[in-house]
Amino acid sequence: MTAVNIVISPKRQAVHVVTDAASYDRNGVLAGFVPKFYTVPGWPGGIAIRGMTIATPVLGYELTNAFATFDDLIECIEVALPSIVNRWNLNNHIEMLLVGFSEARGGPEAYVIETTDQTPIGVPEGTKGQYLPEPFALQRLPNIIAGPVVPGEVIMDAWFEGLSEDDEPADLKNKLRKVIEMQRHALFDDRIHWIGGYAQHTTITREGISQCLLQDWRTEDQIGQVIKPVPIDWPRWNVAHGFPPGRRLAVG
């Protein structure tokens, strides 16, 4: 389960993508830290990958060479992707999130496409069909997506008021930092923490692509072990990062 958070701002003609870097087995044991967003300056845009770690550079390389523009990619990927997956024997589940600027439609966009009908790591069995497309069927995404979905109790504890595509860039960056910190501390149905390593923030405009480190947890996360985030004091964290403190919940 990879964290992929995307905010498209049509007004500012910008795309913001925040991903984590933890690579692990199906039990959540860390194998390493790798970037999960492949940038394509020529479009400009990029590809975020959930699933096989090796798929990020492989699919990034293949699709960059196959399609000169983002519009070409969106038009033809449903036909081209199955042969690429077969050629590289990418048999395990892969979810690709594609972001870029469409000259044909006049603005930034995001899409998702899956390579199998398998249930992704960290997603409860029987729930995949509720929100993920069929294999090799391209689906356009809304301007704001945050995945994995943060449980309601974590949102309440963190006193999070949501993302907006109209947020000022500095405010949006700070909110995205909070989103991925909430995702890191959330326990999902399998009772495993999946988000770790570090958080990378990518900003894409028509003029180019910039990246920065948003959060760094590599001193906490140990290779060969499951992720165990240090407990967080949300009121203190909020004040330290310029948010209202929120409520301190009573214990007892």
With respect to residue 246, please indicate whether it lies within any of the assigned structural domains.
no
Say which residues have a Cβ less than 8 Å from residue 209's Cβ, sequence separation at least 6. 39, 41, 44, 46, 202, 203
Write out pLDDT tens, residues 154-212: 999 999 999 999 999 999 999 999 999 999 999 977 789 999 999 999 999 999 999 99
With respect to residue 245, please indicate whether it lies within any of the assigned structural domains.
no
With respect to residue 27, please indicate whether it lies within any of the assigned structural domains.
yes
With respect to residue 248, please indicate whether it lies within any of the assigned structural domains.
no
Question: For the chain, how far is it from start to end, CA to CA, in angstroms?
Answer: 33
With respect to residue 252, please indicate whether it lies within any of the assigned structural domains.
no
With respect to residue 164, please indicate whether it lies within any of the assigned structural domains.
yes
With respect to residue 130, please indicate whether it lies within any of the assigned structural domains.
yes
Write out pLDDT tens, residues 133-152: 899 999 999 999 999 999 99
Confidence band (pLDDT; 50, 70, 90) for 252?
A: very low
CATH code, domain carrying 183:
3.60.20.10
Residue 93, pLDDT > 80, answer yes
Q: How many domains are there within the chain?
A: 1
Residue 89 domain boundaries:
4-240
* Backbone CA torsion sign across 54, 55, 56, 60: positive
